[in-house]
Each structure stands twice: as C-alpha cells, then as structure tokens.
Amino acid sequence: MSDMTNKWIGTSTVRPDGVDKVVGRAQYAADATMPGMIWGKVLRSPHPHAVIRSIDTSKAEALPGVKSVVTAKDIVDFSVGTPVPLGIQDMRWMCRNVMAREKALFHGHPVAAVAAMSADIAAKACELIEVDYEVLPWAIEIEDAIAPDAPILHDFIKFEGKPSNIAGTLEHKLGDIEAGFEQADVIVERSFDTRPVHQGYIEPHACLVSVAADGKTTIWSSSQGQFMVRAMTAFLTGIPQSDIRAIPAEIGGGFGGKTIIYLEPVAAMLSKKAGRPVKMVMTREEVMRATGPTSGAKSTVKIGAKKDGTIVSAQATHYLQAGAFPGSPIRGACGCCFAPYDIPNVYTLGYDVVSNRSKVAAYRAPGSPIGAFAVESTMDELAEQLGIDPLELRLKNAAKQGTKAAHGPVYPVMGYAETVKAALAHDHYKAPLGKFQGRGVASGYWFNAGGESSAQVNITEDGNVVVTTGHPDIGGSRASIANITAELLGIDYRRVSVLIGDTATIGYSNLTGGSRVLFASAMVVTQSTEKVIETLKGLAAKIWGIPADAVTWSDGAARPAGDNAGKFEPLTLEELAAKANMTGGPIGAGTQLNTTGAEGGFATHICDVEVDVDLGIVRVIRYTSFQDVGKAVHPAYVEGQMQGGAVQGIGWALNEEYIYNKDGKVDNPGFLDYRMPVCSDVPMLDNVIIEVPNPLHPQGVRGVGEVPLVPPLAAIRNAVYNALGIRFNSLPMSPPRVLEKLDAMKQAAE
C-alpha cells in the first residue's frame, strides 16, 4: 500500500493534461464555439426583493438580431410544497434561482434572458425588456432576517408555527452538556461572526448549449460535475436525461461554487427556441452578484474544562446565511466544529437563515471553516485561561480511534493527534518572534466523501492504456490516476492517458466535491485495472497452455509462476495487446461503484503574522500546514491543495467581504474591491504531509482538498491576538477594523 517499493504512487509526475494548459490550448467552456452559434445574456433584478408583476419582452423580441427570449415561464415550475431533492439541492429552489418566478429575491436575480446574433445585441435587448416590480422591504444580514418584524422572503417557510426566514435547524447531541459544565473548573463562552465570501474561481461560469430540433441536447460547460449538469438541466427544462450529452470542459476553478448550475437550462431553452447553439458567459460582476458565495454566520461557543485541561462539555450554536433559498451548510458547521476532540458532552445547533442575497453554494469544506473559526478561537482563550500551551490542550483532548463523535461516527484509524504532534515538534513552533509579530494555531476537520464513481480502463492495440473516469479534474486528479494505473500495471506512467468522459461515454459519477474524487476514482480505477490484469494473465496462460492461476503479473508483463516459473519468456503488455485479437478480443474493463469508507481528514496549522500598526495591515509571514491525507498519491498536488486552501483562508480572515449599500446591492462586485490575496500578500507556504493510511481504501487515500480551508481563520485570528493582545471575534481583520481596535486600545490605555 504505502510501502517504499512504489515507483509512481507518491511521486510528482507531470500531469496528462499539463501541456495543453501551459500552451493555451486547453478548452474551457468559454473557449468552445459551434457553427451557427449565437450569444445569450441575462437580465437581472435591480432590486433585492420585489414581486414581479409582469414582464413584457415584446420590444426585445422585435430588435433585429434577437433570436429568442426566455423567462420563468419557459423553465419547469416545481411547486414549493413538495421537495424535489437532487443531491443536496432541491429543484424547487433551483428552478427559482436560475430564473426568478413569483419574486426577485436578490439584486442580480435573473428575470429574463435573450439570445441574439451578438453579445452586444443581446445586451441591448435585455435593456428593452420591461419588468413591472413591486419593491418590497428586504433583509440582508442575519440579524435583520431573524428580527421579529423581518420582511419574509418565503411565506411558506414556517418556524415555530409562524412565517419565518429560519428555514431549518440541525442539531447534534452527545451526553449531557449541563451535567458536563457542572464538572468544569473553567468555562469560556464567546460569540463570533464571519462574513460571506466568494469561492473566487478565476473562470466565470460559461456554457455552450445546442438543442437540436429533435430535442437532442449537447452541453459544454465548466462545472464540477457533468452528471449534475445533465440532471439539473433535465429537471429544469423537461428534456429527458438520455437526450442530454453534457461534456465537461476544462474547469477554471470551482472550490464548490460549480456544484450547481446557473446558465445551462437558460441557454438550453434559448437554444431550443432559437434553433441554434447558444453560448453564455458571465461577467465577473454577474459572478459576484449572483453566484456563490458561502454563508456568513453568527456563532456562540461555550467550552468547559477541568484544571488539567480535560474538556468536559462543549456547546455551539451557528446561524448560517443561506441566501435567497434554504440550504446553508449547517451540517458542516455543526458536524465538524468539535470533531477533532474527544468530548463526552456535546451539543451543536444550527439555523438555516434565508435573506436577500444570492443563494449560497458550497465552498471547500462547506460550513466547517465557520464552525472551526468559532471553536478554535474559543480553544485559544481556554488554553490561555488554563495556562496550557494551545497545541498541548488540543493533544490532550484529541479524538482518536474509537472516539464517538457528536455527529455520529465512532472514529476508525485516523491521524488527528499526529498532526498536532508534528506541529509541536516543528521548528516553526519554536522560532523566535519579533515586535508586533504573533503566532497562532488551529485545527480542522472534514468528513470527506465517497459516492458514485465509474471508470473504464482500456488497453490500446499497441499496449498502452486509456483510462476514462467521470469526475471533472480541477486540481490534478488525472495525474494521480495515471500514477495508480501505471503502478498496478508496472509500466511507465507516460503510457497511461487519462480522460474525463462525458455523460454519454462514461457511467454515472458524482460531483467533484467533498474531497471525493481521488478516493472514489482510485477505487474504481484500481478494480478496473485489476480486472484487466486478470484478463492479461488469462491470455498469457492460454498462449502458454498453462492454468491462469499459474501466471503472475509484474513489471508490465505476465510471467509463469509456481512449477512453470522460468519455463516461458515473460509476455509484456505490448506483446499481449498485439496478440489480443487472436486470443480473445479487446482488452478492457469497467467498474461502477457507490464507494464507501472515505474516512475523515484532519489538519493543524501554525501561522505567524506581523501587524503594521500604522496602516492596520496584518501580514502572514510564515505558514505551516500539517494534514493527515491518508496517502499522497501525487505529493505536489496534495501540497497544492494545502497551499491553495491556506491562502483562501488568509483572504477570508483578512480581507474578503461583500459590501452592501443602503439599497441592498453589492457595492464591490469585482476583484479590485473584493480583495482576494495576491502574490505579494503571502509568503512561501510550508506543508507537512502526514500519512495515516485509510485501511478501507486500496491506496490508503482519505481526501485532501477540503480540510486546508478549515483551520486558517482561527489560526490567523489567534496569531493576531498573540501579536497585539486584541481578540477579533468577527472577520475580516481588514485594515480599517484593525486600526479601529488599535485606536480603542490606545484610548483605553490613556
């Protein structure tokens, strides 16, 4: 499994799709074209909350060059009373999110769309559409949405018997927290808030959709799941799934934000009505106003411990913004926040709160960074009050094999304590700090995921290999699959081509998300490759006239074994492939599974900051991540996930936030004012990969991509406290807020 004899697993090979990406040839959705293609544009609500009384599209339709117009009438209407779940989404909300129906629920909510001969004409036509709105009062922030007199977004949502913006709750319970707190010597209780942040993928949403006269539909789009695109488009347009071929374009980042669709059903209806392929590409402003982000939140955490540091009781309440429709990631916030610890009495409660902002989408470990910010910040204060080193406090309470977690599982073999021990032992933790510098630590957890996955492994006539899987590759998963296939077959990895199939060419595979892809696809690729090896051994046995079980496979060749060892020359993959037609036909095998056994992943981060007290700027000057990944099949891309997640966390902690103006509109819908980290904002990022193999996986994989975004918010916040003695319980710690706190501190001292 993770022995030292591996030749490819555990090495950083060059990815199969790499060259196309460095020469500019890789095809992303916005790069696709088709003969006869026209351009679609969306008209969006200028109000955060308004009844749509009527829409008059006649002037737009009359504009020369306009080929079709679509409104909610053209999208399948799912009545609000009956849930229509698809994965974690509900088509009742999706049909209203892609095109506003009764009401516009946020500024930027689509109300109509036009397809025309050029994007310019389509944009002009949008301006000619007349919408009669009855503007309603709105609620943007959680406190406004849950206030007693709050404007209600959806009359049919009831909480405690009354119409409410609280769309649901979730709780996890273990033991008896009241009894637990009675045993505590020290109790720390604090409240926190985090702002919604956008996933920030650099590639805006885009698609090209062609609906033929017979309904046969082809979709090129950038998404985290071509099967999700197919299913959701089918639901929202009424086109049967078998008539839709969804082709996964290369995807320019998703981070969870491309696990739902926005444009595809709209483009499909525009195309159907126009009889031409329709291309739609969002602007950055549209991305910022109408897609993602993840939730903002308000949390309260209470933790009680004995003098020796043993945590006896813990409680957390999280209110998460869902945006315009129900579905915030309360499961991640409530399920993950205490998951690193072995605590006998735990209670977590989450509220799903709708308000007049765009519907949230998943963002890396959805909900978990929010919960961890609150819990890991409270842990820091608890450590201080107990006079215990914050890592030692975590180690003392670390969950381990056999710990019962409040969200359900009894943990199997896992490596949380290993991440803390590695952090304690690392030089970073002991390095001296200068003036206005500080160090913080925090831990984090993500469930990880398995689910449906399909793979086909085919041997070409010249003895090379083509592997097809069904999960879009965002961060290098094709390279890992090449490593695994080459390892099993005992051949050079460059002889393995790895492709992502479209919905017509590979079996159903779930979304790229939840840190699922390598876990799941490695399982189906391994089983398929093993079947291929069995076939190859059978062919060799036939040629040699010996039983199949008297043949072994190693180093890319079948070899006679047992009594026959040495009696025949080995037959290589190339030789067997060349003889395939005479000995049994094409060589290949497929596997389709609902994979299980993805065990949770943990990380601990150490962060050093330096604060410019004149400008209020917090700079991260050193950062080290320690993560149990099970097995790093391609270490460079594992590091890439760890580094990328850490920097997204730096952005969330220090700068990123939506600014809403008094009209309920986002005032900073672009990269200039929505300030994501740039290259000069961050240092080099160190990584310690810890491998406690997952016993339920053929290569020991756990999943990597989500956990890196979980610890940073609190690690940075705790570092700022260490530097300044100021505890920030709300994010972001942006320069104006830092200056405000510094001024307040100065005044208090005077």
Residue 430 neighbours by CB under 8 Å, 6+ apart: none
123 binds other proteins (CB under 8 A): no
Q: How far is CA 675 from CA 201, 264, 646, 683, in A?
A: 13, 29, 16, 17
202 binds ligand FES (CB under 6 A): yes
Residues that bind other proteins (rule: CB under 8 A) add up to a total of: 58
The residue among 37 and 613 lying less far from other proteins, judged by its C-beta, is: 37
Nearest to 713 by CA among 365, 474, 422, 423: 365
Cα 546 from Cα 543, distance rounded (Å) = 8
Q: Which residues, 600 to 629, sit near ligand FES by CB under 6 A?
A: none
The residue among 210 and 625 lying less far from other proteins, judged by its C-beta, is: 625
Nearest to 412 by CA among 661, 84, 695: 695
Supply the minimum distance, in Å, between the C-beta of residue 205 and ligand FES. Answer: 15
Contact 99, 71 (CB under 8 A): yes
The pair of three-digit structure tokens given for residue 140, joined into one six-digit string: 């943007």
The residue among 31 and 61 lying less far from other proteins, judged by its C-beta, is: 31
The one of ligand FES, other proteins, none whose footprint includes residue 30, by CB under 5 to 8 A per kind, is: other proteins
The pair of three-digit structure tokens given for residue 534, joined into one six-digit string: 């069995």
Among 4, 213, 410, 679, binds other proteins (CB under 8 A): 679
The residue among 33 and 594 lying less far from other proteins, judged by its C-beta, is: 33
Helix (H) or strand (E) holding 50: strand 50-56
Supply the minimum distance, in Å, between the C-beta of residue 471 and other proteins. Answer: 14
Per-residue mark of binding to other proteins, 558-597 (x: CB under 8 A): ----------------------------------------
Per-residue mark of binding to ligand FES, 146-185 (x: CB under 6 A): ----------------------------------------
Torsion of CA 426, 430, 432, 435, to 10 degrees: 100
Contact 317, 217 (CB under 8 A): no
281 binds other proteins (CB under 8 A): yes
The residue among 74 and 706 lying less far from ligand FES, judged by its C-beta, is: 706
Nearest to 380 by CA among 608, 621, 685, 716: 716
The residue among 251 and 598 lying less far from ligand FES, judged by its C-beta, is: 251
87 binds ligand FES (CB under 6 A): no
Supply the minimum distance, in Å, between the C-beta of residue 71 and other proteins. Answer: 27
Per-residue mark of binding to ligand FES, 33-52 (x: CB under 6 A): --------------------
24 binds other proteins (CB under 8 A): yes
163 binds other proteins (CB under 8 A): no
Per-residue mark of binding to ligand FES, 241-260 (x: CB under 6 A): ------------x-------
Among 678, 695, 743, 745, binds other proteins (CB under 8 A): 678
The residue among 110 and 644 lying less far from ligand FES, judged by its C-beta, is: 644
Nearest to 654 by CA among 623, 601, 617: 617
Select from 96-104, 245-253, 299-307, 586-594 the region that touches other proteins (CB under 8 A): 245-253
Supply the minimum distance, in Å, between the C-beta of residue 476 and other proteins. Answer: 6
156-164: long-range pairs with CB below 8 Å, 24+: 156/80, 156/81, 157/326, 157/354
Q: How far is CA 173 from CA 31, 110, 136, 343, 545, in A?
A: 50, 40, 39, 11, 64
Nearest to 469 by CA among 413, 412, 527, 514: 527
The residue among 382 and 479 lying less far from other proteins, judged by its C-beta, is: 479
Which string of b and e fits 389-407 if b means at least 16 CB within 10 Å?
A: ebbebbbbbbbeeebbbbb
Residue 203 neighbours by CB under 8 Å, 6+ apart: 28, 29, 30, 222, 251, 252, 253
Supply the minimum distance, in Å, between the C-beta of residue 202 and ligand FES. Answer: 4
Supply the minimum distance, in Å, between the C-beta of residue 561 and other proteins. Answer: 38
Nearest to 683 by CA among 627, 619, 639, 617: 619
Supply the minimum distance, in Å, between the C-beta of residue 253 and ligand FES. Answer: 5
DSSP per-residue letters across 550-591:
GEEEETTEEEE-GGGTTTS--EEHHHHHHTHHHHTS--EEEE
In the complex, which residue's CB is closest to ligand FES? 202
CA-based max dimension of the chain: 95
The residue among 514 and 677 lying less far from ligand FES, judged by its C-beta, is: 677
The residue among 242 and 283 lying less far from ligand FES, judged by its C-beta, is: 283
Among 48, 108, 252, 335, binds other proteins (CB under 8 A): 252
Among 636, 726, 739, 742, binds other proteins (CB under 8 A): 636
Please give, one letter per residue, the 3-state secondary structure of 281-298: ECCHHHHHHHCCCCCCEE
474 binds other proteins (CB under 8 A): yes
Among 369, 444, 450, 644, binds other proteins (CB under 8 A): 644
Q: How many CB atoms lie within 10 A of CB 127?
A: 13
Among 4, 22, 410, 748, binds other proteins (CB under 8 A): 22
Per-residue mark of binding to other proteins, 165-204 (x: CB under 8 A): ----------------------------------xxxxxx
The one of other proteins, ligand FES, none whose footprint includes residue 180, by CB under 5 to 8 A per kind, is: none
Q: Which residues, 287 to 326, sit near other proteins by CB under 8 A?
A: none
253 binds other proteins (CB under 8 A): yes
**Is the peptide bond preceding residue 293 cis, with omega within 30 degrees of 0?**
yes
- What does DSSP assign to residue 613? T
The residue among 253 and 490 lying less far from ligand FES, judged by its C-beta, is: 253
Supply the minimum distance, in Å, between the C-beta of residue 121 and other proteins. Answer: 12
Among 640, 664, 693, 732, binds other proteins (CB under 8 A): 640
Cα 529 from Cα 486, distance rounded (Å) = 9
DSSP strands (E only) in 198-292: 206-211, 217-221, 244-248, 278-281
The one of ligand FES, other proteins, none whose footprint includes residue 51, by CB under 5 to 8 A per kind, is: none
Nearest to 312 by CA among 302, 320, 326: 302
3-class DSSP assignment, residue 690: strand
Residue 372 neighbours by CB under 8 Å, 6+ apart: 336, 337, 442, 443, 444, 445, 710, 711, 713, 714
665 binds other proteins (CB under 8 A): no
User: ∠ CA 644-648-654 to the nearest 5 degrees?
Assistant: 140
Cα 390 from Cα 726, distance rounded (Å) = 17
> Would you tell me which residues interact with other proteins (CB under 8 A)?
12, 14-15, 17-19, 21-28, 30-31, 33, 120, 199-204, 250-255, 281, 283-284, 474-476, 636-637, 639-640, 643-648, 670-672, 676-682, 684-685
> Would you tell me which residues interact with ligand FES (CB under 6 A)?
202, 253
